[in-house]
Amino acid sequence: MAQFIQSVVKDLLDNKTNFLNTTLILPGKRPMLFFKEEFQRQAKNILLPEMRSIEELMSELSGLEIISGINLWFKAYQAYKKVVEKADTFEEFIKWGPTILKDFDDIDASLQPADKILDYLVSVERISKWGEGKIEIGKNEVIQNHLTFWGIVSKMYFQLQQDLIAAREGYAGMVFRIASEKADEIIENNTKKYVFAGFNALTKAEQGLIFRLEKENLATLYWDADKYYYNNPNQEAGSFLRQYKDKIKPINWVVDEFSKSKNLKTIGVAKQVGQAKYIADIIRNLSEEEIKNTALILADESILPAILNSLPENITHLNISMGIPLRSVPLAQFFKSIFELQMNREKLGKGSLFYFKNILQILENKTLSEYSSDESRTLAYDIRKQNRIFNSENSIQSSLGDSIFRSLFHIPKSITEFIHHLKNWTDALLHHPKMNDLLMKEYLFFFKKVFNQLHENLLVIDDIKDYRTLFLLYNKIVSSETVAFIGEPLKGLQLMGLLETRLLNFENIIMTSVNDEILPLGRQNNTFIPYDIRKQMKLNTFTENDSIYAYHFYRLIQRAKNAYFVYDTEADGMSSGEKSRFLAQIKFESNHTIEEIFAAPDFKSEPLREIVIEKTEETIHKLWNWANDGISPSSLSTYLRNQLDFYEQRIFRIDEVEEAEETVSARTLGNIVHATLEELYTPILNRILHENDFKAIEKQKDSTLQKHFRNEYKDGHLDKGPNYLIYKIAEKIVDGVLSKDLKTAKENEFIIQSLEIKNKIDFTLTNGKTIKLSGVIDRIDSVNNQIRIIDYKTGYASDISVKTEEIELVYQKEDKAKQLQLIFYAHLFYADKANLNKDIELCIFPIKFPKKELIKLKVDKNSVIDSSIVENSKEAMSTLIEEILSANIPFKQNS
């Protein structure tokens, strides 16, 4: 694993280095553990040298603390406000500020004079070249904005430098520059010696200090290079090391490992999950000893969850040296909901009401489901049942009792108070008696750290004016923060990102997402400084970044024996579907043969099994309860359409969870229309209707419709947005029914006899057993003494006729639901012996189409029907019901 580290330690021991006076400087902290282990392995009872990262060294030598992230953003915004008359809001600044800070960092780390670069960006001569001198700069708005922007940025740079130095702080590039500029002072006062090991791409600031220390014999440099890329002037992996040839002593060491025989394979697999599954198969076939010398390297770290979910059972020890972004952990969605709760209170709830979706997201978060209570579950149920779209602080808190979620539904006096409360709430949950999940504790610790950082900054600045800006800032923090995993660095499979492999070597390499645009990243520059100026002013461009990735890639392979490079073959999202050009370079430029494989999932097609549910005693008992309670026409239609739906909904009452409606649903719309028409017509039942009756109804219509809209929709708004449109639809439907009925009343003797009458009757099956039929007839009326049984429907059908000899098909086919329902109503009507001699029409009233005529059921082409319809359909209906009740006929999936 650590051949380079072994060589460095051996050389230091062979040269009898005085470790009391030596500091070992490394590119990062991760290799320190491996150095300590190697020192202990090669020498017993020695005092180890002090070990520092390059950042720690530069901070110490410059006398400045390195700051980044939110702390730096706020410092930069304060500097920005000092140099402009009318500053952007912090929300606007955060969109461009971090990119400018990255450019400042590059300028300083490259030891380039900032004033020269920034002045050149606003140079009139340079801009004139764009149009070959033909551009009138003062009259061009785009150019004027460009000049103004860079003028402000230039002032901001110097102001920020001044502010940071006063606070004994600095961003990384600035700290490195100041340390490099103090080289003479450091050399004069320094008695220590330094060992720099494993570096490659040094910034100009790092070169200025490190090379000077070496020249003064205060530093020893150990490089890890291979002849293959070091001696080849066209090989980008060695470009930085070749630049140092004339500036330093001969390089320790240039080895010849890359050219040795290796087993190299490229594997093209579709999607991240496909890669994860293939890699699991590779690892599954490795011995325990081989796994110890294996690194699984993720070129794209977003594949981590898929990898972790696919690891095979022979992985008993795992060390993950990369972090998972804080935004990706399960708790992130929960805290996002808390921020959105306050954002939507400001935006939608008029500052005092909480939006129901955010409330439910918090109360029903699966990650914290263990902490839900009867009170929180009841509140969630009530919000849905009562359609409470907006909820007050008092109503929520009084409903939640002692629930841990209670204090989250609080209207803070300020944003600072909100963050302070959130920090305390997170700390309380961290120490909750039920909190035994170590991983959850780790996540909570990191979120508490974020809230603490936010709170400290909010105490000293007042630039965050609303929750939207706060959330934007919070989002940027959790996107940059990572949760470090706790593993066993010296045991088992090593899982890491490419940059974590520095100084380490492995016999077996498995690398994921080895695609172009991922390795290397290519032209993905996070900068405002154009490429031509970066090139001219000797700032790093994407070319130098490619060289850095190339070095890490080739250095990793140089001592490996087996390497598997897995790439995504799908061209979507960030992936081009093409393997990295690094792989093509090895294939065509090196002496190695690469085995190329395209992997596809091994699908085993098994015939679908028919779903059959046998009827148990309990099922039969529930079926008879259903039959004795009253069989509805819709339940019979459900059975014909889907027997499994019938089984779930009608027998075991497995209904979909009723959701609160932000926008009125079709079901609710139907309920509103039915209830409105019922109330409007009830005072004028059983008498001949005249035009004046409808004039009276018209006066009551609006208030009645609004009342029933409120009854169904509870706290919902009907005066704006989609619901206003739906309200107007309901109004139009009601107007359409009234208009059609008015026309009928003008031209005929028109009487409405009953509305929404629930009927329940006995029905004797052909096997002699009696059950009950139950249904609600929307309306029974008469036109010129012709009785009409009416069912309101929002849809439309052109033909619902049936022949007497084919009437059994109504009870066998799912597409005859309308005929079944109307014939069912005939059974309910004729069950009253007083109706046996009356002829009826069975009609569908298409209430969404008021200009259409009523759709009448025709039996043998006749729309006027008598009681014979009952006798003609009785046996077919009985057969269907007996099938449902039969213990010997199971429920099956409809074909």
DSSP codes, 85-137? SSPPPHHHHHHHHHHHHHHHHHHHHTT--HHHHHHHHT-HHHHHHHTTT---G
As a whole number, the mean pLDDT across the chain is: 89
For residue 150, give the amino acid letter.
W
Residue 562 is classified by DSSP as E
Over residues 585-609, the pLDDT tens digits come to: 999 999 999 999 998 766 666 666 7
Nearest to 341 by CA among 441, 442, 411, 438: 411
d(CA 544, CA 534): 11
Over residues 205-231, the pLDDT tens digits come to: 999 999 999 999 999 999 999 999 999
Burial profile 312-348: b = 16 or more Cβ within 10 angstroms, e = fewer:
eeebeebbbbbbbbbbbbebbebbbbbbbbbbbbeeb
Task: Say yes or no to pLDDT of 80 above 90.
Answer: yes
477 pLDDT band, cuts 50/70/90, is confident
d(CA 626, CA 718): 38
Q: What are phi and psi of 130, to 5 degrees?
A: -55, -40
**3-state SS string for 527-554:** CCCCHHHHHHCCCCCHHHHHHHHHHHHH
Contact between 610 and 893 under an 8 Å Cβ cutoff? The reply is yes
d(CA 355, CA 378): 17
C-alpha R_g of the chain: 39
Q: Is the peptide bond preceding residue 330 cis, with omega within 30 degrees of 0? A: no
When mean pLDDT is compared across 247-256, 368-377, 569-578, the lowest value belongs to 569-578
Section 489-506 average pLDDT: 87
In this structure, how many other beta carbons lie within 10 angstroms of the beta carbon of residue 545?
17
Task: Say yes or no to pLDDT of 1 above 50.
Answer: no
pLDDT at 711: 80
The H or E element containing residue 14 is: helix 3-14
Written as six digits, the tokens of 218 are 């205060």
The H or E element containing residue 870 is: helix 868-885
Over residues 315-333, the pLDDT tens digits come to: 988 888 877 778 888 899 9
Nearest to 512 by CA among 462, 579, 451, 422: 579
pLDDT at 579: 92
Section 804-810 average pLDDT: 93
Task: Say yes or no to pLDDT of 158 above 50.
Answer: yes
Q: What are phi and psi of 18, to 5 degrees?
A: -80, 100
Collapsing DSSP to helix, strand or coil, 699 comes out as helix
Task: Say yes or no to pLDDT of 123 above 60.
Answer: yes
Nearest to 267 by CA among 604, 495, 574, 583: 583
pLDDT at 309: 87
Distant-in-sequence, close-in-space partners of 45: CB < 8 Å, separation ≥ 6? none
pLDDT at 327: 85
138 pLDDT band, cuts 50/70/90, is low
User: Can you list the alpha helix ranges (DSSP code H) found in 190-295?
Assistant: 204-215, 227-230, 239-243, 271-284, 288-292
Q: What are phi and psi of 780, to 5 degrees?
A: -120, 125
499 pLDDT band, cuts 50/70/90, is confident
Written as six digits, the tokens of 189 are 């006062």
d(CA 894, CA 645): 10
Residue 246 is classified by DSSP as T
Over residues 851-878, the pLDDT tens digits come to: 889 999 999 999 999 999 999 999 999 9
Collapsing DSSP to helix, strand or coil, 242 comes out as helix
Residue 887 is classified by DSSP as T
d(CA 51, CA 205): 21
Bridge partners (DSSP) listed for residue 416: none
Q: Which has the higher per-residue pLDDT, 506 or 667?
A: 506
The H or E element containing residue 298 is: strand 294-298
CA atoms lying within 13 Å on the CB side of residue 895: 1
- 701 CA to centre of own chain: 46
The H or E element containing residue 773 is: strand 770-783
Q: What are phi and psi of 283, to 5 degrees?
A: -65, -35
pLDDT at 654: 60
Instruction: Determine the longest span between alpha carbons in the chain, in angstroms.
Output: 121
CA atoms lying within 13 Å on the CB side of residue 100: 23
Q: What are phi and psi of 884, to 5 degrees?
A: -65, -40
Angle at 603 between CA 598 and CA 609, to 5 degrees: 170
pLDDT at 657: 46
Nearest to 331 by CA among 466, 472, 430: 430
Section 480-501 average pLDDT: 80
- 323 CA to centre of own chain: 18
Section 166-189 average pLDDT: 95
In this structure, how many other beta carbons lie within 10 angstroms of the beta carbon of residue 195?
20
Over residues 751-799, the pLDDT tens digits come to: 999 999 999 999 999 999 999 999 999 999 999 999 999 999 877 777 8
Written as six digits, the tokens of 140 are 């061009």
d(CA 123, CA 143): 11
Q: State the pTM of this model.
A: 0.73
Q: Which has the higher per-residue pLDDT, 888 or 664?
A: 888
Contact between 391 and 363 under an 8 Å Cβ cutoff? The reply is no
CA atoms lying within 13 Å on the CB side of residue 690: 1
In this structure, how many other beta carbons lie within 10 angstroms of the beta carbon of residue 747?
10
Distant-in-sequence, close-in-space partners of 86: CB < 8 Å, separation ≥ 6? none
Percent of the chain with pLDDT over 70: 92
Sheet with 750-764: list strands edge to edge. 750-764, 770-783, 786-793, 840-846, 855-856
Pairing of strands 493-497, 318-320: parallel
pLDDT at 481: 81
Task: Say yes or no to pLDDT of 574 above 60.
Answer: no
Task: Say yes or no to pLDDT of 611 above 70.
Answer: yes
Contact between 194 and 23 under an 8 Å Cβ cutoff? The reply is yes
Residue 805 is classified by DSSP as G
Length of the chain (residues): 895
Percent of the chain with pLDDT over 90: 66
- 895 CA to centre of own chain: 37
Section 61-73 average pLDDT: 93
Nearest to 538 by CA among 829, 893, 858, 205: 205
Angle at 465 between CA 462 and CA 467, to 5 degrees: 125
Pairing of strands 323-325, 65-66: unpaired
Written as six digits, the tokens of 741 are 């009925």
d(CA 201, CA 238): 10
In this structure, how many other beta carbons lie within 10 angstroms of the beta carbon of residue 454?
23
Collapsing DSSP to helix, strand or coil, 710 comes out as helix
Bridge partners (DSSP) listed for residue 612: 892
pLDDT at 2: 59
User: Can you list the alpha helix ranges (DSSP code H) found in 642-776?
Assistant: 643-646, 666-681, 691-713, 721-747
Q: What are phi and psi of 595, to 5 degrees?
A: -80, 125
Section 676-698 average pLDDT: 95
Task: Say yes or no to pLDDT of 125 above 60.
Answer: no
Nearest to 513 by CA among 548, 465, 553: 553
Residue 255 is classified by DSSP as E
Q: Which has the higher per-residue pLDDT, 598 or 659?
A: 598
